[in-house]
């Protein structure tokens, strides 16, 4: 009888013995003339599995086990009714904010951490501080006239060490503006093409509110913006210049939203827009697009640098050719001048259009182009990158 090879690891030897005994008489009979060697392979969970190989072939059980691969959980649309009842299945995943906070969402519990560490758990609408379980917080979902039925807010209040303390969480499904509860309808600039969570730890009851809410707005890891999904679906889309929207220079993207007309300026029908930082804005009319970067550009960008205007330069696009530069002269309309309302804010990760012009807002800058000619540019505080057919 050929001597079987011995495994040096006791754990592997034990597992091998179990598997071999499970193979019944087939493994026993074969051992007199054939070498049975257990082999290990790592799985996605870093656990070891044993595959029994006989004459170079796997056992039927091993083949069946190897063919089974766990399906990736599907992301569900945010369900406000379920969340209100304490079912967080539609939130499943990890939510992250720019401020450093996270929420790990499971079907029956939300685990909320701040950048300082573990903070709270939310189960069935009830709030519990991780570091101080003895403090009882009152609250849960509440009605807010500004949110209506489009979003959902929860808040909890307690007296901790003789000081009133509260926390607030608000849920915004895809396509819904991130209005701050109890703040008169004030909107946080955000990407509406994916769901968001506003998480305010320890300051969510109308007092000690932060000046800037954007860092406390969470998005779920793995959720793609409409722009990212379009780029992924359109395999032939490549950014015309580094940092630009992937499908810039082509036709109007299917997910592009219309920019509303805001009025007339000097006899022209005008639409205006600005990025969430309010550093970039554009006026749009029948003659074309004129955009401006408020922070200005270095002298090298434009030969006729005017130090009295901080290097601010207009960049123009019309239906006749590529973008052109022109020295800033009159004040633009989009900051709210000339009797025109302030520009429509384009949340990062969204795509918009007005007439023959498309606009993609991103943290890398604003990409805009003429959908008929294909000419356009990416502009940001560093300068501009023109592109065209």
Q: Judge if 202 and 312 occupy the same domain.
A: no
Any domain includes 371: yes
Q: Judge if 254 and 120 occupy the same domain.
A: no
Range of the domain at 256: 226-387
Q: Judge if 153 and 178 occupy the same domain.
A: yes
Radius of gyration of the chain (CA): 29
Task: Average the pLDDT over 108-127 and give the result.
Answer: 92
Give CA–CA dist 261/271, Å, rounded: 4
Any domain includes 73: no
| Overall pTM surpassing 0.75 (yes/no) | no
Give CA–CA dist 301/373, Å, rounded: 25
Q: Supply φ then ψ for residue 299, to 5 degrees.
A: -55, -35
Q: Judge if 238 and 131 occupy the same domain.
A: no
Q: Judge if 106 and 192 occupy the same domain.
A: yes
Q: Which of 103, 71, 76 is nearest to 89 (CA)?
A: 76
| Residue whose entry in the numeric block shows the structure tokens 């003895």 | 134
Looking at 67, 92, 107, which one is the last position of a domain? 67
Q: Judge if 142 and 279 occupy the same domain.
A: no
Any domain includes 2: no
Any domain includes 75: no
Q: Judge if 29 and 121 occupy the same domain.
A: no
Give CA–CA dist 103/214, Å, rounded: 16
Any domain includes 253: yes
Of 41-45, 96-100, 337-341, 368-372, minimum mean pLDDT range: 41-45
pLDDT of residue 293: 84
Q: Judge if 54 and 124 occupy the same domain.
A: no
Convert the pLDDT of each residue in 132-154 to its tens digit. 656 678 889 999 998 999 999 99
Q: Judge if 157 and 240 occupy the same domain.
A: no
- Distances in Å between the Cα of 166 and the Cα atoms of 120, 134, 160 are 12, 15, 9
**Measured in whole angstroms, how far is the alpha carbon of residue 381 from the centre of its chain?**
23
Any domain includes 72: no
pLDDT of residue 228: 63
Any domain includes 4: no
Q: Which region, left, alpha or beta, applies to residue 162 given φ > 0 means left and ψ of -120 to 50 means alpha?
A: left
Domain total of the chain: 3
Task: Average the pLDDT over 181-209 and give the result.
Answer: 79
Looking at 220, 242, 273, which one is the last position of a domain? 220
Q: Judge if 154 and 230 occupy the same domain.
A: no
Of 142-156, 215-229, 292-306, 340-354, minimum mean pLDDT range: 292-306
Q: Judge if 233 and 369 occupy the same domain.
A: yes
Question: Does residue 66 surpass a pLDDT of 90?
Answer: no
Any domain includes 110: yes
Convert the pLDDT of each residue in 237-282 to its tens digit. 889 999 999 999 988 888 888 888 877 766 667 888 999 988 898 9
Q: Judge if 216 and 288 occupy the same domain.
A: no
């Amino acid at each position: 009888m050929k001597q079987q090879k011995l495994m040096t690891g006791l754990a592997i030897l034990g597992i091998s013995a179990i598997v071999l005994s499970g193979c019944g008489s087939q493994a026993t009979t074969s051992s007199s003339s054939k070498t049975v060697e257990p082999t290990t392979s790592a799985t996605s969970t870093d656990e070891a599995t044993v595959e029994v190989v006989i004459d170079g072939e796997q056992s039927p059980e091993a083949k069946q086990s190897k063919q089974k691969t766990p399906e990736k959980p599907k992301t569900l649309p945010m369900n406000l009714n379920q969340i209100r009842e304490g079912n967080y299945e539609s939130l499943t995943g990890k939510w992250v904010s720019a401020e450093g906070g996270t929420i790990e969402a499971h079907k029956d519990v939300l685990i909320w951490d701040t950048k300082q560490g573990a903070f709270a758990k939310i189960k069935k609408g009830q709030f519990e501080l991780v570091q101080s379980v003895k403090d009882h917080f009152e609250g849960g979902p509440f009605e807010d006239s500004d949110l209506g039925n489009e979003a959902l807010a929860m808040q909890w209040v307690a007296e901790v060490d003789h000081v009133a303390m509260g926390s607030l969480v608000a849920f915004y499904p895809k396509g819904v503006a991130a209005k701050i509860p109890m703040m008169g309808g004030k909107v946080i600039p955000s990407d509406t093409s994916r769901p968001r969570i506003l998480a305010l730890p320890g300051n969510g009851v109308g007092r000690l509110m932060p000046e800037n809410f954007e860092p406390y707005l969470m998005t779920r890891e793995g959720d793609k913006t409409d722009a990212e999904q379009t780029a992924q679906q359109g395999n032939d889309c490549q950014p015309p210049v580094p940092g630009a929207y992937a499908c810039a220079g082509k036709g109007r993207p299917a997910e592009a939203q219309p920019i509303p007309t805001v009025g007339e300026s000097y006899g022209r029908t005008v639409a205006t827009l600005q990025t969430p930082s309010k550093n970039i804005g554009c006026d749009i009319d029948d003659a074309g697009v004129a955009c401006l970067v408020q922070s200005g550009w270095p002298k090298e960008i434009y030969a006729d640098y005017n130090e009295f205007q901080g290097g601010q330069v207009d960049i123009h696009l019309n239906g006749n050719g590529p973008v052109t530069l022109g020295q800033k002269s009159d004040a633009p309309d989009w900051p709210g001048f000339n009797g025109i309302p302030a520009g429509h804010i384009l949340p990062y990760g969204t795509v918009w259009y007005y007439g023959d012009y498309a606009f993609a807002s991103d943290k890398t800058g604003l990409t805009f182009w003429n959908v008929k000619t294909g000419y356009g540019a990416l502009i940001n505080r560093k300068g501009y990158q023109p592109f065209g057919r």
